[in-house]
Structure 1
Amino acid sequence: MSAECRRPRVYVDERERGSGVPEALAELGAAVVYTMAGVGDYIVSDRVAIERKTVRDLAESLFDGRLFDQARRLSEHYEIPVLIVEGDPGKIEEYTTRGMQARMALASLSIEHGVRVLWSANQRETARMIYSIACREQYGSKRSVVVHRKPRLEKLWMQQLYVVQSLPGVGPRLAEKLLERLGSIEAICRASVVELERILGYERAQRVYRVIHAPYKPPGRGKEGGEGRSP
């Protein structure tokens, strides 16, 4: 690492807490600040924001519209949007039968939204990448860190879509489909896992149901919520 890099600040979205990357960043010497970023998982300057995904996350988010929505918002708020994908790119076919389409979609992200796509082997390598970028931005280019909060949502339907999109594996298209089919956020929360499965598919429905119904157990109060058996 550069000797000039003393202690870069990295703003980390709360949803990345527990992923292993923030802890690795702290071990490298970064000052980790948790925040509700709204746009990006890791913010390292006023122009660079980083989204992190595993290969599995990538495969799921490419085809429900979530990744392109995230890429659009990143490019709207930050001059240099970055996507770091953890895992072996050759294993993407383990999570989708449309591997070639997934690779074409990544190319489209770069061309249409200017997203820099980087690959890492694991969380520690991801942390080293983020640390290096933060050092270059804050000490090499003398950039400040700016966190862009979630957008203003003036219409009720926009707020409803925004809330539903926060569910795991749910992008703009699926959020709209859930609201259209079930009618309201309350109805989504009351839906059985079978009803959710008809709209989301088996695995995504299990994850959404678990997030909605699992007791809240933050770190330090026993096992973290949502890690129990599927319904």
Structure 2
Amino acid sequence: MSECRRPRVYVDERERGSGVPEALAELGAAVIYTMAGVGDYIVSDRVAIERKTMHDLAESLFDGRLFDQARRLTEYYEIPVLLIEGDLTRLEEYTSRGQQIRLALAALALDYGIRILWSLNQRETARIIYNLACREQYGSRRSVVVHRKPRLDKLWMQQLYVVQSLPGVGPKLAERLLEKFGSIEAICRASIVELERVLGYERAQRVYRVLHTPYRSPGKPDT
């Protein structure tokens, strides 16, 4: 492989603050934040990486997001990668349905062609992503292409897409929220108790916080 000077890694904005982009920058990567739409880390025109902690993995499987994310990765990238951060031997500490998760991972590999990689922590995750970027950009001389969000021709598709951007909300829950409240505006006006009836306590707390916390720019100093 050719000498790796400074590979570019496009990072989805949702990964800001996870610790991985900072570790990538320390390794020498040029970190470029973007609203990727598909994938968390893009290292070439054919390789995109979806990063999940063990908790994220369990939650996204049971709320319906995991297979939707896998489908979109395979639609837009030739080599889709799922990078799971954590110790597989401790899976049962995160969920009582560990066997279902293992079967789901087998399905992702066999039915979707997802490459599954493992890391123990954020720094190891960054090292893997850095090496993939070097391999693609300097070894295979691939360009970096961020495939944006899919074309959404119908209004209902756009509404589902917006609601799915809320934390912990996959396609099924997005549809349930819209059917329950009738519109995105009504979801935003819903009380935390009303959201809890659809989302459960913890997810409702997170969604309510995103919808109602005043925005503060990352570069704005505390007052």
TM-score w.r.t. the length of structure 1 is 0.93
* Structure 2 residues not aligned, in runs of 5+: none
Q: How does 1:103-118 map to 2 (within 5 A)?
A: 103-118=102-117
Structure 1 partner of 2:180: 181
Cα distance in 1 between the residues matched to 2:171 and 2:64: 6
Which residue in 2 is equivalent to 1:205?
204
Aligned to 1:44: 43
2:18 paired residue number: 19
Query: Alignment partner of 2:118: what SS?
Result: strand
The answer to whether the 8 A contact 1:12-1:43 is kept is: yes
Query: Aligned pair 1:94/2:65, yes or no?
Result: no
Question: What is aligned with 2:80?
Answer: 81
- What is the deviation of 1:88? 1.6
Question: What SS does the aligned partner of 1:129 have?
Answer: helix
- Letter aligned with residue 44 of structure 2: S
Pair 1:95–1:193, CA change in 2 (3 A) = farther
Identity of aligned residues (%): 81
After superposition, the C-alpha distances for 1:128-149 in whole angstroms (9 at most, x for unaligned) are 0000000011111111111100
Q: Quote the residue 1:60 is aligned against.
A: 59
Which has the higher mean CA deviation after the structures are superposed, 2-11 or 191-200? 2-11
TM-score (norm 2): 0.96
Q: Matched residues in 1 for 2:2 and 2:42: separation?
A: 22
Q: Displacement, 1:67?
A: 1.1
Instruction: State the secondary structure of the residue aligned to 1:105.
Output: helix
- How far the C-alpha of 1:222 sits from its partner, in A, is 4.8
Match of 1:228 in 2: none
| Amino acid in structure 1 at the alignment position of 2:173 | L
Question: What secondary structure does 1:169 align onto?
Answer: coil
CA contact (8 A) 1:65 1:172 kept: yes
Deviations 1:4-61 (A, max 9, x none): 1111111111111111111111110111111111111100011100001111011100
Aligned residues: 222
Query: 1:93, CA displacement in angstroms?
Result: 2.3
